[in-house]
Chains A and B, each alone.
Chain A
Amino acid sequence: MTNIAQRRGTSAQAAADPIAAMVDEHGVLTADAERAANVSDAELRDLYRLMAIARRLDQEGVNLQRQGEIGLWGPINGHEAIQIGAATAMADADWIFPYYRDFGMAIARGVDPGVALTWFRGLNHGPWDPRELRFGPGIISVGSQMPHGVGFAIGCKLDHEPIAVLTCSGEGATSTGDWHESMNFAGVFQAPVVVLCENNQWAISVPFRQQVAGHIADRAAGYGFPGLRVDGTDVLTVHAVVRAAAERARRGGGPYLVEALTYRFQPHTTSDDPTRYRDEADAAPWRAKDPLANAEARLRARGAWDDAFAEQTAQAAEEAATNMRQTLLNAPPPHPGIVFDQVYANPPDSLLREKAEFVSSLESGGAE
Chain B
Amino acid sequence: MWRFVIRRCGQALVTLLLLSAIVFFMFRLLPADPTAAMVDAALSPEQIAELKAEFGLDKPLAVQYGLYLKNILLKGDFGTSFFYKQPALKILGDKILNTLILSLAAILVAYTVGSILGALMAWYRGSAGEVAGIVVGLVFRAAPEFWVGMVFVMLFAYGLGWLPHSGMREAGYVAESLAAKYLSLDFLRHLILPATVAALHMLSTPMLLLRNAMLEVRREEYVELAHAKGLPLRRIIFRHAARNAMLPVVTSLATAIGRSVGGMVLVEYVFSWPGLGREIVLAATRYDFPVAQAAFLMIAGLIMVMNILADLLYGYLDPRIVYK
Q: Do A and B come from one complex?
A: no
Binding site for B on A (CB under 8 A): none
B: residues with CB less than 8 A from A are: none
